[in-house]
Amino acid sequence: MLLRFTKMHGLGNDFMVVDLVTQHCKLNEDLIRSLADRHRGIGFDQLLVVEPPSHPNNDFKYRIYNADGGEVEQCGNGARCFARFVLDKKLTTKNHIKVETLSGDIELIVEADGNITVDMGIPKLAPSKIPFNAPQQQTTYKVQTVNGEMELGAASMGNPHAVLKVDTINNAPVNTLGAELESHPDFPQRVNVGFMEVLSRQEVNLRVFERGVGETQACGTGACAAVVVGCIQGLLDEQVTVNLPGGSLTIQWQGEGHSVKMTGPACRVFEGQIRL
């Protein structure tokens, strides 16, 4: 069979997007890994799948698979690409799009300037909800690594995140420490690891080692989690520019009990078909 797809990116975080509303395909881990291969397949950080909603109040269901074939709960950069995709494909004419995800419903808003704002929902800070093995909620936690004790913040944006404050992201041990913390026993569902350099109360630099992927050019949920952690640690204001290797996002958070809003671009790269 021929599978139609679109290659997209959000600040360099790249995706293969597949419409399973108007076509059908049975996905499995082996197939996803082969499609993700950048030498023999399409190549992507995540595969995004558009499906009909389970509930009539929603417009679509949004499923996300990492390059290793595992399904994950949320992807902020992918959510912006999802909105652009369903509009471009005329699957909807709405500028406010309600979408089901594995971690709950989210709202996507297409702005007049073409940027897309995603209401990412209320972050989860209780350790049991992240999930993270800690006796109680704190602004910072200490975990043991091969190089000694490490201090970090933790939050869930529908997927688990650890955030480390660093003096500079230029020489941060993203690939070594990121890989170690990703599978740290204190994070039973593994974790995305952010390395945050605070420039001011309104701006940070960030690199993210994504669970099941490795370092990516950008991570939307990682940017949201970094701002949440920075805010609860008293380092950041309610609106923050997050500079990632692939570009910048605007993140807004008014504090506990409020949703995180993320605004940024989404770009189509090319259309294609692949024979399966």
Which residues line the annotated binding site for substrate?
Answer: 13, 46, 66, 76-77, 159, 192, 210-211, 220-221
Is 81 a known active-site residue?
Answer: no
* Active-site entry in 75, 81, 224, 231: 75
The annotated binding site is made up of 13, 46, 66, 76-77, 159, 192, 210-211, 220-221
3-state secondary structure 42-99: CCCCEEEEEECCCCCCCCEEEEEEECCCCEECCCHHHHHHHHHHHHHCCCCCCCEEEE
Phi, psi for 69 (deg, rounded to 5)? 95, -10
Residue tagged 């929603």 (tokens): 58
Is-catalytic flag, 25?
no
C-alpha–C-alpha distance, residues 101 and 75, integer Å? 9
Strands 13-19 and 46-51: parallel
Of 81, 219, 224, 231, which one is the catalytic site residue?
219
- Classify residue 276 as exposed, middle or buried by CB count within 10 Å of its CB (0-12, 13-18, 19+): exposed
Q: CA-to-CA distance for 152 and 171, rounded, in angstroms? A: 18
- Bridging pattern class, strands 96-101 and 60-66: parallel
Which residues are identified as catalytic?
A: 75, 219
